[in-house]
Structures are given as C-alpha cells and as structure tokens.
C-alpha cells in the first residue's frame, strides 16, 4: 500500500503534522511526504491514498496574496509563494476512476469559526473524482505562526495509525 502526502506549510506546523501522520501510517504503508511546490502534477497510478494538508488562511486555502502576507509576518523560513495547495488542486487532473483521499489542516482553535482549508481541499478533490474516506481532520496552533498546541503531533500520529488500520480492514474485505 502506498500513500502520498502533499502539504502546504508557511511556518512549519503543517509540515510537522504531515510528517507525524506519515509516521503513524508506517510501517505497513509506504509514504512519500512532499511540499506542494515539489509535488508531482498528479499522483502516480500506484498511489493508493492521497492525503493533502494546508493551514487555514482567511477561512480556507491560501491564495498568492495571503501567502505573500504570511511570508512578510514570518519569523522563520516559509515555503514558496508561487504555488499553494489551492493552485495544485486546481491543476490536478480528474482521476478517472475513484481514488481515495483524505484532507487535514492546521488552524487556530476559535469556537464557531467558519471555513477550513481541509474542507475546501476536500470539495476540490471530490470535483476531481476522488473519494474522501473519512471527514477532514483539523490540528490546532497557538497562533497563526505557531507553535502547535501541545499534543497535536501525537494526535497526528494516532490519526495516521487510525488511517492505517482502516486501510488494512478495507484491504482485508477486498
């Protein structure tokens, strides 16, 4: 079983979550984790699961303008501003046959805050013919530039294990 995790990260928080998810998926799932700027235009046909993640910026996926503003505020290095998950998903070809996907995001913990990068990404993946296996997952940050709320990396590892177990059950039924 192979999985591809494509992430957009402005301050490293979403990258850290992606790596923790990959850790939870292993050892039975071969996982490749790539930043969106280095992601292939389309996943290889032998990739069984596509997982995408991004920070929630202005209630959804980032735009070139919001990435530029984030890089101006950043304390440390940020990812490339020319392509974000929004643009990558927009260029993603229709998959033809049903392929499985999952989404996650990082965001502030604000009660009742509408909008989510992961739900925006899920909607875009569905339009490309992907089947979302489970609801989107959110991981929280203390403030927009981080750090992650205590325990979120372990939560991401556990989510990766949960995904792995679900995939194993799905394979066993086939």
The pair of structure tokens assigned to 112 is: 């009742």
What is the share, in percent, of the chain residues with pLDDT greater than 90? Answer: 68
- What's the pLDDT score for residue 172? 78
Reported as a single tens digit per residue, the pLDDT across 98-142 is 799 999 999 998 887 788 999 999 999 999 999 999 999 999 999
Residue matched to tokens 């790596």: 19
pLDDT beyond 70 at 174: no
Q: CATH code at 130?
A: 3.40.50.360
Host domain of residue 91: 2-173
Sequence-distant (6+) residues with CB within 8 A of 74 are: 10, 11, 145
Q: What is the mean pLDDT of the chain?
A: 90
How many folded domains does the chain comprise? 1
- pLDDT value of residue 78: 52
φ/ψ of residue 115, rounded to 5: 80, 150
pLDDT of residue 6: 98
Q: Write the CA distances from 112 to 59, 109, 116, 130, integer angstroms.
A: 12, 9, 11, 28
**Does residue 96 have a pLDDT over 80?**
no
pTM confidence score: 0.92
Number of alpha carbons in the 13 Å side-chain half-sphere of residue 45: 2
- For residue 105, give the H/E element and its range: strand 99-108
């Amino acid at each position: 079983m192979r999985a591809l995790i494509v992430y957009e990260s402005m301050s490293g928080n979403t990258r850290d979550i992606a790596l923790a998810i990959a850790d939870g998926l292993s050892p039975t799932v071969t996982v490749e984790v790539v930043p969106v700027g280095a992601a292939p235009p389309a996943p290889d046909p032998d990739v069984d699961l596509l997982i995408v993640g991004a920070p929630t910026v202005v209630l959804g996926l980032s735009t070139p303008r919001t990435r530029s503003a984030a890089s101006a505020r950043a304390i440390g290095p940020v990812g490339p501003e020319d392509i974000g998950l929004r643009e990558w998903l927009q260029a993603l070809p229709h998959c033809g046959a049903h392929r499985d996907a999952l989404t996650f995001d990082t965001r502030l913990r604000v009660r009742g805050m509408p909008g989510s990068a992961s739900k925006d990404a899920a909607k875009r993946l569905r339009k490309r013919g992907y089947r979302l296996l489970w609801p989107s997952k959110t991981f929280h940050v203390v403030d927009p530039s981080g750090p992650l709320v205590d325990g979120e990396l372990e939560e991401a590892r556990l989510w990766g294990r949960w995904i792995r177990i679900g995939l194993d059950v799905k394979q066993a039924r086939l």
